[in-house]
Chain A
C-alpha cells in the first residue's frame, strides 16, 4: 500500500509541463536516432548525459526514457523500408517488415511496429513498477561480502554473455574496473595512476569515458563510408483496413505472448532486446496455425519482433535500479546517467528519492504511450526523409556535440583529450570484437566492488574466507563460478563436435 502511494505521489511531478516536454523531445530524438542506421540508443544517451548535467534529474531522466523507447521503435523504420536494421534488435523486424514493404504494405508494417513498440514498452514499464519495489526488500539481506559478489556477478554476466568471446569480455570488464581506480584512493588517500596530473586526482569522469567509447567510434565509421546518393524511393501508402481496432483482435495474442517473453528476457542480465525479439518471433511462429507465412510478410512477425524488443526496455532496468546491476548495455548507460545526477541505485534510491525513481518508471510508461501519438503516418514520412540525411554531415555534428558536453565539465580541454583517447581505444576494441558495455559497467560498479571487498577484509582482519562465509555469498559465488565455467564447457564441446 505504501509503495502504491509512493508511485502515485510521483505522478504530479512527472506531469509538470517541462517534464512532459522533455519526454516528447526525448521520444522524437530517440525515433530520429533509431531510424538512422549506425546510431544506437546507447550512443544517443551517452552523448546526451553530459548535456543534461545542469537539468533537474527528472527532466534528464524524461529525455533518457524518451530516447530509449523512441530509438527502439525508430530502428524499425529503416528495417521495414530499406531492409537495414536501424538498431541491432530490429534485425528481426526485417524478416517480415521488408517483405511487407515490397508488397506495397509499408504503411501497415510501420503502424504495426508502432503499436507493438508502444504496447511492449507500456507492459514492460508496468512490470518495472510491479516488480522493482518488492525486490528492493531482498537487498536488505545484503552485507558487504554479498554486495561484492553481486557486483562481480553483474560484471561477469555482462562480460561473459554479452560478447562473442568471454576472454575479451572479461578483459573489457577489468579495463573498466581499472579505469575506475584512477585518482585518490578513498581509504589511504594515495594517488593511483595519476601520472602526476592534478586533473586526475578526482579520477576520470564517467561521462568522459562513456562519450569517448560510444560516440566517437560510430562517428568515425560513418566517415569511412564514402558518400553516395540514396536512389531508393520510399513509397508509403495507407489503406482503410490498416486501423488499430481492425487489427487489434488479430494481434492481441502476439502482443501478450511477446511481451511476457521480452519482460522475462529483460530481467535476466546481459540478454538485451535482440534476444528478446528473436525469442518472441520464434515463439509466435512456432505457435501459429500457419507458420509458413512468416518471413514472407506476416504482420504478426513484425508485431512479435517489435513487442519483444520493446518489452525488454523497462524490464532491463529492474536489476539496474534495485541492485545497481544493469540487465543490458543501454541500461548500464542509463545507470551511469543516474550516478551523474547523484542518484545511487539500490534500496536508498527508493527510500531517499522515491519521487525520482517512481517518476522515472512513469516516464518509461508515458514515453511508450507517446509512440502511439508521435509514431504515426506523419512521423514515419518525416523519418523516411531523415534517413536520407548524409551520414558524412551527421558524423562531424555528433563529434561537435560530444565536445559541448565534455568541455563544460571543467571548462578546459583536458577532459576533451581524454575523451579523444578513449575514442581511439573504443574504436580499436570495437573492431576487435571487445564488448564496450563491460567497460562502462566496470566504471559504474568498480567503486562498489572495491569498497565492499576492503570493508569485508577490514571487518574480518584480512581473512579471505569471510567473502564466502554467509549462505547468500556462497550462492552468489557459485553463480559466478557457473557463469565462468559454462562457456568453457560449451567451447570444448563445440571444438569436439
Chain B
C-alpha cells in the first residue's frame, strides 16, 4: 500500500466516522451538542482537505523520497499476528488467568518472531511473572484475573 492510498483511506474513514458521530449527537439539546458538533465539523473539513490533497498527490509531493520508501508495516504478516495474539491474549485472559496467558504470550510472540533459545526464553517469561507477582500482586495488591488452575483447585477441594 502506498502512502497516498493509506492517507486517502484514513481520511475517508474519518469522514465516515464524522457522519456516524453527527447522527449520534443529532438528538442532543443545542447546548450539549455545540462543542462536539464543532469538533466533528473541524475533523470533517480537515479530513476532506486531506483526502483532496491525497487524490491530487500533493502530500506525496511534499514528502518526496520519504513517501516513495514508505511502508505501512515492516512486516504486514507479523504486525497482523502481533495484534491477533494480543486480541487472543485479552480474550482468554479472564478464563485462564493473568500469569498463565502472559507466560504463553511472551513465549508465543518471541518464538513467532524467530527467537529459538528455549532456556533464556522460559527464564525470561518466568522471571517476568515472578516480578509482576512480587511487585504488583504481593506489594501493591493490584487485582488481576485469577488463574484457572487456582479456581479449579479451590472448587475441587
Roughly how many angstroms separate A292 CA and B30 CA in the complex, as a whole number? 65
Q: Which of A192-218 contact B (CB under 8 A)?
A: 192-193, 195, 216
Could you say which residues of chain B place their CB within 8 Å of the CB of A133?
Answer: none
Q: Which of A168, A393, A408, A431 contacts B73 (CB 8 A)?
A: A431
Q: Smallest distance from the beta carbon of B124 to chain A beta carbons, Å? A: 5
Contact A227-B35, Cβ < 8 Å, known A54-B140, A413-B90: no
**CB of A472 within 8 Å of the partner chain:** no
Q: Which residue of A lies closest to B125 (CB)?
A: A393
**CB of A411 within 8 Å of the partner chain:** yes
Q: Which residue of A lies closest to B77 (CB)?
A: A224
| Among listed A113-121, A172-180, A275-283, interface-contacting one | A172-180
Q: Which of A170, A187, A195, A491 contacts B31 (CB 8 A)?
A: A187
Q: Which of B34, B83, B98 contacts A424 (CB 8 A)?
A: B83
- B114 and A181 contacting across the interface, CB-CB below 8 Å: no
**CB of A13 within 8 Å of the partner chain:** no
**CB of A225 within 8 Å of the partner chain:** yes
- B128 and A174 contacting across the interface, CB-CB below 8 Å: no
- A192 and B36 contacting across the interface, CB-CB below 8 Å: yes
**CB of A395 within 8 Å of the partner chain:** yes
**CB of A44 within 8 Å of the partner chain:** no
Roughly how many angstroms separate A164 CA and B63 CA in the complex, as a whole number? 9
- B36 and A220 contacting across the interface, CB-CB below 8 Å: no
**CB of A416 within 8 Å of the partner chain:** yes
Could you say which residues of chain B place their CB within 8 Å of the CB of A431?
Answer: 6, 72-73
The DSSP consensus for interface residues of chain A is helix
Q: Which of A227, A424, A427, A453 contacts B113 (CB 8 A)?
A: A227
- A392 and B115 contacting across the interface, CB-CB below 8 Å: yes
- A187 and B114 contacting across the interface, CB-CB below 8 Å: no
Roughly how many angstroms separate A453 CA and B78 CA in the complex, as a whole number? 46
**CB of B119 within 8 Å of the partner chain:** no
- A174 and B43 contacting across the interface, CB-CB below 8 Å: yes
* Interface bin, chain B: 35 or more
- B142 and A408 contacting across the interface, CB-CB below 8 Å: yes
Q: Which of A80-121 contact B (CB under 8 A)?
A: none
- A400 and B10 contacting across the interface, CB-CB below 8 Å: no
- B75 and A450 contacting across the interface, CB-CB below 8 Å: no
**CB of A230 within 8 Å of the partner chain:** no
Roughly how many angstroms separate A280 CA and B145 CA in the complex, as a whole number? 50
Q: Which of B65-84 contact A (CB under 8 A)?
A: 72-75, 78-79, 81-83
**CB of A454 within 8 Å of the partner chain:** yes
Roughly how many angstroms separate A225 CA and B78 CA in the complex, as a whole number? 8
- B32 and A178 contacting across the interface, CB-CB below 8 Å: no
Roughly how many angstroms separate A256 CA and B45 CA in the complex, as a whole number? 47
Q: Which residue of A lies closest to B72 (CB)?
A: A431
**CB of B46 within 8 Å of the partner chain:** yes
Q: Which of B91-112 contact A (CB under 8 A)?
A: 93-94, 98, 102, 105-106, 108-110, 112
Q: Smallest distance from the beta carbon of B35 to chain A beta carbons, Å? A: 5
Q: Smallest distance from the beta carbon of B46 to chain A beta carbons, Å? A: 5
Could you say which residues of chain A place their CB within 8 Å of the CB of B124?
Answer: 393, 397
Roughly how many angstroms separate A220 CA and B141 CA in the complex, as a whole number? 29
Roughly how many angstroms separate A177 CA and B60 CA in the complex, as a whole number? 28
- A407 and B79 contacting across the interface, CB-CB below 8 Å: no
Q: Which residue of A lies closest to B86 (CB)?
A: A399
**CB of B118 within 8 Å of the partner chain:** no
- B25 and A223 contacting across the interface, CB-CB below 8 Å: no
Could you say which residues of chain B place their CB within 8 Å of the CB of A390?
Answer: 110, 115
Roughly how many angstroms separate A295 CA and B35 CA in the complex, as a whole number? 51
Roughly how many angstroms separate A55 CA and B61 CA in the complex, as a whole number? 50
- A400 and B105 contacting across the interface, CB-CB below 8 Å: yes
- B93 and A392 contacting across the interface, CB-CB below 8 Å: no
**Closest 6 interchain pairs by CB?**
A392-B113, A224-B74, A223-B82, A227-B114, A185-B32, A400-B102
8 A–B contacts, CB within 8 A, in A order: A170-B46, A192-B28, A224-B79, A392-B110, A403-B102, A404-B132, A423-B86, A424-B83
